Structure 1
Amino acid sequence: MDLSRSGKESGDIAIPVREVKSSRSGKGTTAPPVPTTIRLGQGPSPAAGWGRGIGIIDLILRICAITATLAAAAVMGTTDQSLPFFTQFFQFQASYDDFPTFTFFLAGNAITCAYLVLSLPFSIVSIVRPHVIGARMLLLIFDTIALALTMSVASAAAAIVYLAHNGNPGTNWPALCQQFNEFCPRVSGAVVGSFLAVLILVVLVILSAAALRRI
């Protein structure tokens, strides 16, 4: 059986039938080939277009998450305030590295930001080739890990910020933000930025799962 394209349409396949000889008569008779046309689907697949749209949204959200985690890490890493007490030689000082939780916060957001930068090529591959399962599966797995890391550091830092703002009368912990009026707003803003990155990562995980379901 020979396969050939019929006409100018790339989606048509013509299947000619070989010559058939009749055994009833003494002489062989030749039957003309009968082309059979099978019409294939033409145009881009709707699933491919849908997956490409998800890939574009994924890329934009990753850039936003990079900005949020980078800003959170930068603000936390540059937070420092000194309060003069009696003389300029005797001061109270508050810095992010005085709190192990804030150091953990800085490291966690930096790791997430670095991962998101490295994931951009895989996101671009998902746009160019939306049917590739491997790239989307890797993004889903590592996005989930990054989400867990960012959520943990943001939650731990939020607990310290709450104590800094309100204190704890039961344990005689004073509210530090009454004195350090520049330190607390900066660390609070860093925590808000980190929670924004958490929200974006949640959306990224949902998009990756939806894309895998449609492939």
Structure 2
Amino acid sequence: MSVKPREATKKVKPYIPGKPIEELKRELGITEEILKLASNENPVGTSPKALEAIKESIGETYLYPDDECFYLKRGLSKHLGVNAENLIVGNGSVELILIASMVYLTPDDEFIMGDQSFALGKISATLMGAIFTGITEKDYTHDLNAIRDAVSEKTKIIYIDNPCNPLGTKLSRKGIEDFVNSIPDGILIILDEAYYEFVRDE
């Protein structure tokens, strides 16, 4: 007898991440410096403060980390002006999108996002066997009106990455606030701002 995966997993197309800088240089014969923003890599390098913190804690790497992220949540709480109890810390957007999908989606639920948005949204919805609705972008950015019009009784999650990855465009703060306020209760809106620090609001 063989163990069979869930049928939904057969519909998932593999996520192909961007190539590392070293591989790009080798393939394209580039000798100049490359600044790669597509994988959320810091173009100015690691912060000296982060390096110092790593050096200070290197002797404790044998210990299991604080899974509650107490000090990180406390710092984020102060920086963002929100309660620490309202924060969930994850290993990047990938983990948090998958967790949200596992917690909220059933096969009868709908996940809405832009067609050309971060691929993990579609992958997570497909893994859960949920209904995926991709909305065509307008002028290379999220068409919030079309997303709003697509909302149905089955809609459970709306995913918006701002700035949009991989398109590189962004929505204004007011546009997002107006959109969020127009969505009915009972729908989780995931606003992924992984690239927020690369842009300024209008």
Scaled by the length of structure 1, what TM-score is found? 0.23
- Structure of higher CA gyration radius: 1
Structure with more of its chain in helix, by fraction: 1
Greater RCO, CA 8 A, separation 6+: 1
TM-score, normalised to structure 2's length? Answer: 0.24
